[in-house]
Structures are given as structure tokens and as C-alpha cells.
A and B are shown apart, each in its own frame.
Chain A
Amino acid sequence: MRLRRKPWIDEAIHEYDSHIILSGHEEHKGKWRELFAHPERPLYMELGTGKGRFIAGMSEAYPDANFVGFEVQLGVIYYAAQKIFEGERDNAKVCLFDIAGIEEVVEPGEVDRFYINFCDPWPKAKHAKRRLTYHTFLDRYARLLKDGGEVHFKTDNEGLFMFSLEEFKECGWELKNVTYDLHSTDLPNVKTEYEEKFSKKGQPIFRLEAVKPKVQKEA
């Protein structure tokens, strides 16, 4: 999601400093849970939070879990922080960071679950390695997840979904609840802005849950 640059956000974002981490991410490596009132609760991370409707909705639907959302664009993460702040959620925070370097800020085995929602499909074959479900990314997630940790992936792009299915299987992840039309199931779901927009047009939403493989590759 790319928005026009809004200079006023540079100042305005500091209103939500309690719910947003703009710098010093490395200091939280291995200590993300300590940011929350209940560090014993499971830690779920959303990769590419966007405007934060999903993380705000999830933190409300699952008060017994802690949520951290990563987003690289300041103009977008502002709205995510605003939603969490206005919802008075104490179990969610957003972080301005490029997830390409996630291993620099997250300790191996620290996370219970990753959410990847409507990421860029990078449709050209030569850009496949940029897809967030490319096997190099999956290996990183596997290292950062706890044993039995999961990745929940949602997209409207069938090509990306088929690609992801193959990648997960080839990397030894166990798949479950694979759906080709999420909105016709009774699976619990919090809609993102993007999902709302495209499902109204009749576009089916694809979703899968993948459990971390028991044997994983070394870094």
C-alpha cells in the first residue's frame, strides 16, 4: 500500500508514541514480550500491517495474546497506531521496520505466530524471491517461530496462493485449513481494508495455516 507523502504525519505520529516503535528496534530483540503488561501471553506478529484494521481487530478479538505489527511506511503505520490507540488496546503495538531484516530484531524461537495478509504478489517470475512466501523467507520464519509455531497467510491472488502452497510444502511445513474462498467458511476472520474492498467485488479470498516444520534448516 503506497500513499502520498503527508509531511504533517512526521509530527502527528508522536501522539501515539505509547503504541508505536519508530527506532531502536534491535534493543527489543528477545524482549518483545516485555513491552506488554502480560509477557507470559503468546506473541503474534503481523508482517505488513498496513492501516492496521487487522491488528486492531485481532487485539480486540483475542485479548489473551500480544500483537506486534511491522510496517515500513510511516504514512500508513500512522493510521494503524491511531486505531490501536483509539481502541485503547494494551496488547498491541506497531513497529516501523522493513521485515527484510526481521532476523536483526527478533530472537529465534521468540514468536508464536506470524500473520501475512495480502502481501505484494510480485507477479513477474524474476521477482519471485521478493514474495513473502518465497522459501528463503519461510526458512527465516521457521527459525524465529517457537516449536509448533504457525504462519497464517491470506491473499486474493490465486497465482501467489498456488506458489505459496508449493513453497510451504517443499519446505516441509504442515498445512491445515486451506481454503479457496475464506468468506464461505465459518473460520474466525478479521477483515483487512484490502480484503473488504476486494471481497465486495466478488473476489474469493485464499487462506492457509502452516505449522513450522520439525526439522529446520540452519541459518
Chain B
Amino acid sequence: MIKGDYKTLKRVLTLTLALAIVAGGYMFEANGAGEQPSKQAPSISEINIYTPKELNARQKDLVEIGRYTASGDQGALKSTIASAIERGTLTPQEVSIAIRQLYSAAGLKQMNAALATFDQLREERPEFGADYEKMVPKQTGLSALLGNGTNGAALTKQKTEEAKEGVQYNTFRMKKPKPQNRNRSRLGKLDRELVAAAALGTRVGKNNLFSASEKSLSELGLSKYQIENLESMIFE
């Protein structure tokens, strides 16, 4: 008899506990308490002690390059590039990469015009160094045997031009830098997004496309102040 009571009491207690857990959980959800921490959590930029208030010098130069490429202001583009290289904020290779990847954001025509301006600048200012992007890759395999095709044609053209001007082909100088060295001067994802956003903003204005680009920049780590700075630079 006592044994049976104990079993019943145990069952009742277990059921009560289970009901309390279920009801408690339901009430917690009903109050919206489960969602509160994420809603009330401060943004990353507020937590960070150091939040950049504006774009740095390198980013500003990239924005200017994107802006002038899209607007087609070749004079301003030229002076911006020259100043960026002299101040070391961007290397010539980085400028070249930044312009080359603007074909969709700024348009092919504008990109080609900007590249032509940069080439002109390089001719005027030889201290900006050789354009490694344009260098002819070493021929290997079938193309080396046949001596024609894209690589072969480019090589022949280059040699002909040099022969005309009487310039000796300097293999030591024309050697491409090693990949581990080249990678140091590559544009990062944020830089590429930034220059594209600047070109896009200049070209299409403040519409949905530009907002999407801004969101992407924010995800890549740009603070809201920096995005405001970007907007003020483009839409000033």
C-alpha cells in the first residue's frame, strides 16, 4: 500500500514538473523574451572602442579613382593617380587592378578611357615603373612550339615596336616579380568593392543598386561613418 502511494506521488510530481517547464517556455516565448538579447544587442561599431570616423587615405584615393573613372573626368583622374602613387597610398599595380575591374560598375568605355589615361601618365612619369599586367607571359607547351596565338602575337608586336625605337630588350628588367611579391600589392575584397561602389554611385546615383553595394561594404567591415563619408564624397 505504501509502495503504491509512493509511485503515484512520483508520477504526479513528474507530470507537474513537465507541465511547469512547458508552460514556462511558452510564456517566455509569448513575452518575446527569447528574442530580446539579439534585438537589444548593440551594433559592432558601437561596441568597438575604435570606430573609424572616415575612410583612410588609401580608401579615399580609391573612391576618387572610381568616381572619376565613371564620370570620365580624365584630368582629375590623372592627378589623383599621380598623387596616390607619390604618397604611397596605392602602388601602380593596385591602380591598374582598380581600374581594370570597373568594367561593369563604370562601363567598358569609361574603363578603357581611364586605362588610356593611366598609360599616358606612365609614359610621362617613368618613375611609376613597368606595367606588369601588360607583360607577355612566358610561352610554354604548344604555343611555344607554334610561335603563334595570343601570346605569340603580343610578343611579336612588342619586339617590332622596340626594334623601331631602337630599344634593347632587357630581359632582366622585364622579368615578372615572383608571385609571393606580387600578392603584397593586390587589392583586397573591401578595396575592390569600394572602388566599384564609388563608380556605381557616380554612374547611377543613390538607388537600390548603390544601397546593395553599401550593404555589402558594411558586411565587409566599413562603419556607418565611413559609408556616410563615401556618400558625401560621391554626392557632394
Contact = CB atoms under 8 A, between A and B. Distances in A.
B149 interface: no
Given A162-B185, A185-B127, A202-B173, A180 B180 contact: no
A203 interface: yes
Interface residues of A, number: 24
B167 to A, nearest CB: 11
Contacts of B178: 159
Nearest to B56: A169
A179 B85 CA distance: 8
Contact of A178 (B87, B170, B173): B87
Contacts of A180: 85, 91-92, 127-129
Contacts of A165: 88, 91
B88 A202 contact: no
Interface string B137-177: 00000000000000000000000000000000010110001
A189 B140 CA distance: 41
A176 B86 CA distance: 6
A208 B89 CA distance: 12
A90 B154 CA distance: 56
A175 interface: yes
Contacts, number: 59
Interface string A159-191: 100110110110000111111111011000000
B173 A203 contact: yes
A98 interface: no
Contact of A159 (B88, B92, B184): B184
Given A159-B184, A162-B184, A180-B127, A175 B172 contact: no
B181 A159 contact: yes
Contact of A175 (B88, B126, B177, B180): B88
B177 A181 contact: no
Nearest to A181: B127
Given A159-B180, A163-B184, A204-B173, 19 more contacts: A159-B177, A162-B184, A162-B185, A165-B88, A166-B184, A168-B88, A169-B88, A174-B87, A175-B89, A178-B86, A178-B87, A179-B128, A180-B91, A180-B92, A180-B128, A181-B127, A182-B127, A184-B126, A184-B127
Interface of B: 58, 85-89, 91-92, 126-130, 170, 172-173, 177-178, 180-181, 184-185
